[in-house]
A and B are shown apart, each in its own frame.
Chain A
């Protein structure tokens, strides 16, 4: 854990932690090898149903399809509203996609088999050991959002590709290479988990310093060495911690903890081992840009744009892909670059590189982007949530009525106040973005005067983004 004297908004102690694993039943539960295997297996069952429903649903409309509704209404909303901001990469903990690769590598599902893991175990290229591939993978995935969210078979194909890729990559490359550097949904979880209110961290550095070999990294009879190839004894950011709980099992001193913490403390971490980077900055831009495009396409009143996204005509669809790519990779970062440049100029600091200013302040878009996505998710859930009751009773649209809710009609809920809810969420996260922006300004510039001047353009950018979304949400 990084020690900082800074306080968020001048009142929140960023060093405050509450260790959940101090309670014996909690620690015992998390040290059991059934955790997280059992939730993964339950999830595997749910995803088998999702895949079957998505496959049997074919090209039909997705409103009454279990696959579409659970993935794009329930899972996505849970992820953005609760799992990532609250529980970091809790989804990665219970994700069923890598289970077959893990099984193939370890030749065990439950037990720990000491020794070398199976598969080719190749190392992923160092140059690609960052978020760039995931940035592109996620962006490319969103090219097909107009199909995936309405056509069950498109969701089946997407999930099928991810599951197959996770397996094949697991056979070729070491450990969780796929989750770390390739999975399209891993990147934004990693980025936004920096804001999460939960963390896995070592407790006492002295214990780790004197402990050899470091079983959290190499494994022992109780568990495997970190599958995410982290060094649990010293990492300080959630970004690449998949919360697999192996380090809690392998530490003989119970020196690993799960803590509750103030949101966003990782945003201030910038160490040699875990530096801020352009890959994460671009992930933040891409997420913000996609939120804008998705809002325009799925929740806005612009029919022509919807037609472009759903591929009504080939030229329109190609136009959407071109616009979407340019907007996310160039226009949003370009606009932000102008504000970063103004920040440097206004600060009067000639020593700090512009790249540092640009990268550091890009992390203000973590709380900002998360707030935008949470607002967007509310806009998915309230109008469409009632479909879930239907699909739970009739998951394959075969005329079942398992829970007696198959005839529940589509019932939008609280849509009259939806815009205000979205706006309120946005404003709360705007405040977090401003709070952390100020702390980042103090990290970036030499003194408070420079920081104050340099922060003004960033504050203007964050305000601009907030106003744009308030306009979109409230109309």
Chain B
């Protein structure tokens, strides 16, 4: 009976540590692949700029872009050619942008909040094919 409790305690430790970490990372990986078309990281130019700086979407196919601001300042997101704007993504925050690309070509996306001295360089490209 006692060893049973010992094994139970060990099982809980494994569950609380290894299984928890593996479960969270595995679930998140699956979620991102199944729920979002692309993930976009927002950082000021000095901290690495948009990543990836170029994203590709399929023409006419509904898209969900997960934008994560992993910076220490707020950023904005605008895709002027599709009239999409997120006024503020606070530091550490994640937002989702949903739209259907109905034009082909290459379009700029940019930060709309003065985030650093090189704010004007915080730009990326969307390619719709």
* Chain A residues packing against B (C-beta within 8 Å): 33-34, 37, 41-42, 44-45, 48-49, 52, 57-65, 99, 108-111, 150, 394, 396-399
Q: Which residues of A contact B17 (CB under 8 A)?
A: 44-45, 48
Q: A60-B91, A63-B91, A394-B94 are in contact. Are A399 and B8 (CB under 8 A)?
A: no
Verify B68–A61 contact, CB threshold 8 A.
Answer: no
* Chain B residues packing against A (C-beta within 8 Å): 2-3, 5-6, 8-10, 12-13, 15-17, 20-21, 24, 28, 47, 66, 68-73, 90-96
Verify A397–B93 contact, CB threshold 8 A.
Answer: yes
B21 partner, pick from A52, A61, A99, A150, beta carbons under 8 A: A52
B13 partner, pick from A44, A49, A58, A63, beta carbons under 8 A: A44
21 A-B pairs within 8 Å (CB atoms) are namely A41-B13, A41-B16, A45-B15, A45-B17, A48-B16, A48-B17, A57-B70, A57-B92, A59-B47, A59-B70, A61-B72, A61-B91, A62-B92, A63-B90, A63-B91, A63-B92, A99-B13, A109-B9, A111-B3, A397-B70, A398-B68
Q: Which residue of B has the minimal Cβ distance to A391?
A: B92
Q: Which residue of A has the minimal Cβ distance to B35?
A: A399
Q: A41-B12, A396-B28 are in contact. Are A58 and B70 (CB under 8 A)?
A: yes
Verify B96–A48 contact, CB threshold 8 A.
Answer: no
Q: What 3 pairs across the A-B complex have the smallest Cβ distances?
A: A61-B91, A64-B92, A399-B94
Q: Which residue of B has the minimal Cβ distance to A45?
A: B16
Q: Which residues of B contact A34 (CB under 8 A)?
A: 5
| B64 → chain A closest CB, angstroms | 10
B10 partner, pick from A49, A62, A63, A109, beta carbons under 8 A: A109
Q: Which residues of B contact A397 (CB under 8 A)?
A: 68, 70, 92-94
Q: Which residues of A contact B95 (CB under 8 A)?
A: 399
Verify A60–B72 contact, CB threshold 8 A.
Answer: yes
Q: Which residues of B contact A65 (CB under 8 A)?
A: 92
| Known contacts A110-B5, A396-B24, then 13 further A-B pairs from the complex at CB < 8 Å, ordered by chain A residue | A41-B12, A44-B16, A45-B17, A49-B20, A52-B20, A52-B21, A60-B69, A60-B70, A61-B72, A65-B92, A109-B13, A110-B9, A399-B66
| A183 → chain B closest CB, angstroms | 21
Per the bound structure, the CA–CA distance linking A123 and B90 in Å amounts to 51
Q: Which residue of B has the minimal Cβ distance to A65?
A: B92
Per the bound structure, the CA–CA distance linking A57 and B92 in Å amounts to 8
Verify A64–B8 contact, CB threshold 8 A.
Answer: no
Q: Which residue of A has the minimal Cβ distance to B67?
A: A399
Q: Which residue of B has the minimal Cβ distance to A112?
A: B2
Per the bound structure, the CA–CA distance linking A64 and B95 in Å amounts to 12
Per the bound structure, the CA–CA distance linking A65 and B13 in Å amounts to 24
| A378 → chain B closest CB, angstroms | 24
Per the bound structure, the CA–CA distance linking A169 and B24 in Å amounts to 31
Q: Which residues of A contact B10 (CB under 8 A)?
A: 109
Per the bound structure, the CA–CA distance linking A62 and B91 in Å amounts to 8
Per the bound structure, the CA–CA distance linking A48 and B96 in Å amounts to 27
Verify B5–A33 contact, CB threshold 8 A.
Answer: yes
Per the bound structure, the CA–CA distance linking A48 and B8 in Å amounts to 19
Q: Which residue of B has the minimal Cβ distance to A150?
A: B72
Per the bound structure, the CA–CA distance linking A44 and B9 in Å amounts to 12
Verify A37–B94 contact, CB threshold 8 A.
Answer: no
Q: Which residues of B contact A394 (CB under 8 A)?
A: 94
